[in-house]
Amino acid sequence: MIRLPGDFGLTTMASKSVITKQSALFVRLAVRRGGHERLGFWRPAVRPSSSKFQSGLELPASTTKRFSTVTTTKPQHPVKDILKGRARRDLHGKVAIVTGAGSQGDDIGNGRAISILLAEDGASVVCVDKDVSLAQRTASIIHQALKRRGKPESPPAALAIQADVTNESDCRRIVDTAVSSFGRLDILVNVVGVMGAHGTAVDLNPEEWAWGLEINVTSMMLMSRAAIPAMLQNQRREENGSIRGSIVNIGSVAGLRGGTRHLLYPTSKGAVVNMTRAMAAHHGRDGIRVNCVCPGMLFTPMMAGGMTDEMREARKKRSLLGTEGNAWDCASAVRFLAGDEARWITGSILTVDAGATAAVALSSPV
């Protein structure tokens, strides 16, 4: 008989033990006593791969008396082995570029919120805006927030830079500044975007159409064109899935379906969605992840102008949750995709829209 601790009691004897599985170190047993059965794990003196430990074999008392005690708890591995392979939500040592990082005054737009959350998790952030004063305000907010939390800034958590991301030389200068200031580049978040030309194909202004596409689509290509070579200088590390860089493009639910009043915005955001997928395919084997966040019906400074209370309420009701999101909701999704916890995610389109694109909200229980 086999002496069992745990649920069976220290002095209880099992009436029958049958091998159900063996591994390199342990034999798993079906341990029976009366009408009850428990799983037991037993480390015998000889290798379990020996033929005498075949599955289905009942172990007689005369054999098992020579071996160690059976336990009803699987032997535990050291904690470090259990946690091995787990990604960490820690951006310390990483460097990020966020375009469109400014907002008017102390408003919180998508770019500013993203910059703050990336810095909050330890990244050094290059805040880019065409109006440098807006980017400087974002960097200042980051410094103040970290100071209040008592977090040291070494290296500095944020710096501001003026640039036009539709200009290729400016895009290269942004990346050069990141690398020269912080030594590397790990994350690029392409936020810059405009509503662009108003109207349908019949009545929009072609020049405004071209300008809108240049800002909403071409700028993301130019920034990625400048950033990817810098990311490829990063060494592959097993703990982060051998990822060298992460690019997150900001799209919109308008790019996933029709029904908007103006042609330019959904067209350009649809291009961003499929550009993301194409770039993910092009650069995945190089260790570059590319994903897209598609916010929908968030209330941000970009959307606030001219929106009445009635319009805001109607937007809320179009979502499954019936609530209103803000820039922090978009930023949280970006922070996840930018970091190592998303190391096995690329080419994905993540909607942040309270379920508006998943289904039509029900107005009645019928």
- Domain borders along the chain are 3-76, 95-352
Between 227-231, 330-334, 352-356, the lowest mean confidence (pLDDT) is in 352-356
Query: What mean pLDDT do residues 286-313 have?
Result: 85
Name the residue with higher pLDDT: 13 or 18.
Answer: 18
Residue 155 preceded by cis peptide, ω within 30: yes
Please say if the pLDDT value at position 309 is more than 50. Answer: yes
Region at 196 (left for phi over 0; alpha for psi -120 to 50; beta for the rest): left
Q: Write down the pTM of the prediction.
A: 0.76
Please say if the pLDDT value at position 223 is more than 80. Answer: yes
Contact between 75 and 26 (Cβ < 8 Å): yes
Residue 78: per-residue pLDDT: 58
Q: Read off the pLDDT of residues 209-218 as tens digits, 9 standing for 90 and up.
A: 999 999 999 9
101 three-class SS: coil
Residue 113: per-residue pLDDT: 97
Query: What mean pLDDT do residues 161-177 have?
Result: 98
Residue 52: per-residue pLDDT: 47
Between 159-163, 174-178, 322-326, 328-332, the lowest mean confidence (pLDDT) is in 322-326
Please say if the pLDDT value at position 24 is more than 50. Answer: no
Residue type, 18: V
Please say if the pLDDT value at position 114 is more than 50. Answer: yes
Query: What mean pLDDT do residues 103-107 have?
Result: 90
Residue 347: per-residue pLDDT: 98
From the candidates 265, 272, 275, 346, which is the catalytic residue? 265
Query: What mean pLDDT do residues 140-154 have?
Result: 82
15 three-class SS: coil
Q: How far is CA 274 from CA 217, 234, 264, 265, 270, in A?
A: 11, 26, 16, 15, 7
| The residue to which tokens 């979502």 are assigned | 319
Give the best-scoring range by mean pLDDT among 6-20, 86-100, 311-325: 86-100
Residue 43: per-residue pLDDT: 53
> Is 265 one of the catalytic residues?
yes
Torsion of CA 73, 77, 80, 83, to 10 degrees: -60
CATH class of this structure's domain 95-352: alpha beta
* Crossing angle between the packed helical segments 219-231 and 168-182, to the nearest 10 degrees: 30
Please say if the pLDDT value at position 272 is more than 70. Answer: yes
- Model confidence at 5, pLDDT cuts 50, 70, 90, reads very low
- Model confidence at 89, pLDDT cuts 50, 70, 90, reads confident
